[in-house]
Amino acid sequence: MDAMVENLPLRAALVGNPNCGKTALFNQLTGSRQKVANYAGVTVERKEGRLTTPSGRAVRLLDLPGAYSLTATSPDEAVTRDVCAGRYRGEPAPELLICVLSATNLRLHLRFALEVRQLGRPMIVVLNMLDAARKQGLAIDVPRLQQELGVPVVTAVAIRKNGASDLLDLLDHPPLVGPAPLPGNEDIHATVRRLLADCVTRPSAVAEEVEDRLDRWVLHPVWGLLILFALMFVMFQAVFSWAQPPMDAVDALVTGFGETVRHILPDGVLQSLLVDGVIAGAGTVIVYLPQILILFLWILVLEESGYLPRAAFLLDRIMASAGLSGRSFIPLLSSFACAVPGIMATRTIQNPRDRLTTILIAPLMTCSARLPVYTLLIAAFIPDRSVGGLFNLHGLVLFGLYIAAILSALIVAWVLKRGGKATEHPLLLELPAYRLPNLRDLGLGLWQRAVIFLSRVGTIIVTVSVLLWALSSFPAPPTGATAPAIDYSLVGMIGHWILPVFAPIGFTWQICVALIPGLAAREVAVSALATVYATGGSDTDAAAQLTPILSAQWSLATALSLLAWYVFAPQCFSTLAVIRRETGGWKMVTVTATYLFGLAYAASFVTWRVALALGGGPS
Ligand SMILES: Nc1nc2c(ncn2[C@@H]2O[C@H](COP(=O)(O)OP(=O)(O)OP(=O)(O)O)[C@@H](O)[C@H]2O)c(=O)[nH]1
Ligand SMILES: [Mg+2]
């Protein structure tokens, strides 16, 4: 082979059914950290990485969304279909197709491999999840399979260190031509049956029995829903009770740090910038890290255990009453972390109308950035007591806020779908094997979330805090002024200027100010309040004292109204941007922003009025 060709990287692509471990393999081979989880449809876009084989050959590897067939039509599967066929824009056809199969599910996955084989392109087959197959007692005759398929076959355990070494070796000498068509004119199903009979021995079905017994409970129409409800309920209790000790610790740290800085630096602009701007702003948000991590721990465990598609299956009937199918469940659940990946996950939904409805209601799922706002207000206004000696009231209120959001989403979906006729289709979902989450993966997942959160604090939140600090410190009050200095500042002016819009729903001018930077990231509202109150000249150190300040200055009705606002919280630029990208236009962006704003305003108005009538107004 001439040297030029040797130097060009080999272009290879990972293809296969959903959930067979393509991304796990991709991460292992390229050292990337793409998302891996135990349900179908985790990867929805193509991702590229690089690797070098043992003999030094460069490979450009593509990770693709899983597909059930090369003729499928959901937006994520279309990417895979087009890349394989060399029809993807700006992407020449891969020189090598690496077809990944789960050894535990060959009946389904071999069918896809045969479909890929019919393309006649150079390909290899990776039998992944060999560990799980062994545990099930499956014995696979790999040489025989290789011979009958007529393409190289290697085994792998993508989640184990060096679990893909055979594949790496094979990439040193990949096949350069495609396989010849199989002899005879069997259809694909017959070929699969023959291959299974020739190459696979399955002794007993013991492992499956345990799963089946578990599924009889988990998928039961009544018990299953109760289990789901209990899981969610305990999650919100945990977000409060488990997080309290670490939150107190971080809180003490931030307060101590603020005080130290205040004492070290002389009174003046620099001291105020650091203490009232940076520490008050970023510090108040950092405190919520433990809660966010606990929320993600639950989500990660649910994702890895294989429970999610079962919950989707369970909720299919309920979601159907709102005009959605269980397929929308996973995108909606992801939106509890953040609406951006949630909206991207809707690419797995085939029906365009269902997909659009799901995109429109995804921002209603309470994203993790709202958690700091909820927690702050709950801690400031809801008494911390236990209910029935078992649950804490804080967790209960939080649960209620999430439920309110979910119910509103179902109602909105119902309204949106009323125009179109119900899409009748049975939900066909693959139920993955139950799996105990791997501790290392959980740790890694949490670490990634922590990095994302802290870098948001370090960038957006610090910037906004400093900006707000500047706007609220200047211009200085005129001599002889009697009101607090902040009233004369730019922030004071802006706040009072917007106030007429939000006064009817009980907001103060400080809240109005906090809503604007909240557009960039919702949790900024918390740091913005801290900065505004800190520079507003409260006597105490506002860095970590926001809770008592709010409970002293706001009425209960105002707090409840703001909570109601945040259930709908129309403001988040990144969500609107991803809606634009996924729907290809501004129309849906406008629709989403308008309807969310309308709902938020209406909900706050009603909450404020009812709370006033019940005596929750200013005393
Ligand atoms: N036991 C075992 N589990 C594996 C192996 N490879 C992957 N997994 C697990 O299988 C699940 C699916 O892995 P992914 O890499 O996300 O699968 P994928 O093929 O990329 O899935 P999609 O992106 O949805 O198409 C995850 O829970 C992995 O941890 C393996 O070799 N053995
Ligand atoms: Mg994947």
Residue ranges of domains in the chain, CATH in brackets? 3-201 (3.40.50.300), 261-287+437-613 (no CATH)
Mean pLDDT of 471-479: 80
Question: How many CB atoms neighbour CB 108 within 10 A?
Answer: 14
4 Cα to the center of ligand 2, angstroms: 33
Q: Ligand 1 pocket, 129 CB below 6 A?
A: yes
Helices 524-535 and 371-381 meet at what angle, rounded to 10? 50
Ligand with minimal distance to 80 CA: 1
Which has the higher per-residue pLDDT, 111 or 240? 111
How far is Cα 424 from Cα 410, in angstroms, rounded to an integer?
Answer: 18
Surrounding ion ligand 2 within 5 Å at CB are: 22-23, 42-43
Please give the pLDDT value at position 459: 87
CA dist 487 → 271, 548, 551, 607 (Å): 21, 21, 21, 28
ipTM over 0.95: yes
Please give the pLDDT value at position 234: 87
What b-and-e string marks burial along 129-145, b requiring 16 or more CB atoms within 10 Å of the CB? Answer: bbbbbeebebebebeeb
Residues 6+ apart with CB under 8 A from 355: 75, 346, 347, 349
Q: Ligand 1 pocket, 18 CB below 6 A?
A: yes
Which has the higher per-residue pLDDT, 236 or 410? 410
How far is Cα 106 from Cα 113, in angstroms, rounded to an integer?
Answer: 10
What is the residue with the minimal CA distance to atom 32 of ligand 1?
129
Contact 90, 118 (CB under 8 A): no
Q: Ligand 1 pocket, 102 CB below 6 A?
A: no
In total, the chain counts a number of residues equal to 619
Residues 6+ apart with CB under 8 A from 519: 571, 572, 573
- Check pLDDT > 80 for residue 520: no
209 Cα to the center of ligand 2, angstroms: 28
Ligand with minimal distance to 41 CA: 1
Instruction: Determine the residue of 15, 22, 307, 431 to mutate for testing ligand 1's pocket, defined as the one with the most ligand atoms within 8 A of the Cβ atom.
Output: 22
Please give the pLDDT value at position 106: 93
- Quote the tokens at residue 613: 């009538």
Q: Ligand 1 pocket, 164 CB below 6 A?
A: no
Q: Ligand 1 pocket, 159 CB below 6 A?
A: yes
Which has the higher per-residue pLDDT, 587 or 461? 587
How far is Cα 366 from Cα 362, in angstroms, rounded to an integer?
Answer: 9
Q: Ligand 1 pocket, 99 CB below 6 A?
A: no
366 Cα to the center of ligand 2, angstroms: 25
Mean pLDDT of 415-438: 74
273 Cα to the center of ligand 2, angstroms: 45
How far is Cα 97 from Cα 113, in angstroms, rounded to an integer?
Answer: 10
Ligand with minimal distance to 103 CA: 1
Tens digits of residue pLDDT in 24-52: 999 999 999 899 999 888 999 999 999 99
Residues 6+ apart with CB under 8 A from 225: 314
Q: Ligand 1 pocket, 127 CB below 6 A?
A: no
How far is Cα 489 from Cα 474, in angstroms, rounded to an integer?
Answer: 5
Question: What is the SS3 assignment for 535?
Answer: helix
Q: Ligand 1 pocket, 283 CB below 6 A?
A: no
384 Cα to the center of ligand 1, angstroms: 42
72 Cα to the center of ligand 1, angstroms: 21
Tens digits of residue pLDDT in 183-220: 877 888 999 999 999 999 877 655 567 788 889 999 99
Q: Ligand 1 pocket, 17 CB below 6 A?
A: no
pLDDT band at 6 (very low <50, low <70, confident <90, very high): low
Contact 325, 316 (CB under 8 A): yes
User: What pTM value is reported for the model?
Assistant: 0.85
